[in-house]
Amino acid sequence: MTRIDDTFARLKSEGRKAFVSYVMAGDPDYDRSLEIVRGLPGAGVDIIELGLPFTDPMADGPTIQLAGQRALEGGMTLKRTLDLARAFREGDDTTPIVLMGYYNPIYSMGVAAFLTAAKEAGIDGLIVVDLPPEEDDELCLPAQEAGLNFIRLATPTTDDRRLPTVARNTSGFVYYVSITGITGSAEADAGDVGPEVTRIRETVGLPVVVGFGVNTPEKSRAIAEVADGVVVGSAIVSKIAAGDSTADVLAFVKTLADGAHGA
């Protein structure tokens, strides 16, 4: 059982849905990013998705791309991202952290070295968007052997033939991308999402968390009504980009978390 498994078991026993927040590590700088991340559990966040800055984030829209650029320009690296997670763990040993990003920085560090460092830093799961199931030997299986959940993405184009392949070595939860396209490009619709969540849950047997296109407390609640949890990223990152204070960013996060928890 990982922290992610424990969190979903606890939420299920409480009759609540999960609220997952995404922030880019090192945005707008290391110290401010750590301050925000440390404040997320108090704002109602159940699972933290920590973005790994990368130069070519193919699945991300302009908001997340610019956040990654700011972080990289500030000297953020994979090692410093793990340092940030380690610093967070000094005060919080229960909130799960999912590292979300692309394979190149991990490959450059070396899979074995990365997994050792990630586990030591307190990372609980990985979402690596550019590694398909056909490449599970590359990172997915070693990660699971190291005790990390490997969380797979499913999309509106993941049909019944493809879904069992996606599900094969997934653990923790399934991240359902509610729209076709990049982050921040459209709004999720609960009417469309609900049947897909049911289909995926029945096939995979894991909680299904929905992300992309959720940007208001009302939308957070509507999506949480039909899923096991909801992810918000671009809307939060936009507040950081606008220069909002940490207190204001966390207050906004709390409204989103309250929406999901009210489902």
> Is residue 95 over pLDDT 50?
yes
Per DSSP, the three-state class of 227 is: coil
| 224 residue type, one letter | A
Q: Which pLDDT band holds residue 263 (cuts at 50, 70, 90)?
A: confident
Domain 3-257 in this protein, CATH class: alpha beta
pLDDT digits (tens, 9 = 90+) for 127-152: 999 999 999 999 999 999 999 999 99
pLDDT digits (tens, 9 = 90+) for 16-32: 999 999 999 999 999 99
Task: Write out the catalytic residue numbers.
Answer: 49, 60
Q: Which pLDDT band holds residue 186 (cuts at 50, 70, 90)?
A: low
> Is residue 180 over pLDDT 80?
no
Q: Which pLDDT band holds residue 185 (cuts at 50, 70, 90)?
A: very low
Please give the pLDDT value at position 189: 78
DSSP state of 134: G
Locate 61 and state its tokens. Answer: 């829209």
Q: Please work out, in degrees rounded to the nearest 5, the angle formed at the alpha carbon of residue 60 by the alpha carbons of 159 and 74.
A: 150
Give CA–CA dist 90/95, Å, rounded. 12
Where do the domains of the chain lie? 3-257
Strands of 125-128's sheet in order across: 149-150, 125-128, 97-101, 47-51, 18-24, 229-232, 208-211, 174-177, 153-154
Q: What is the pTM of this model?
A: 0.95
Q: How far is CA 149 from CA 118, 123, 127, 249, in A?
A: 12, 9, 9, 28
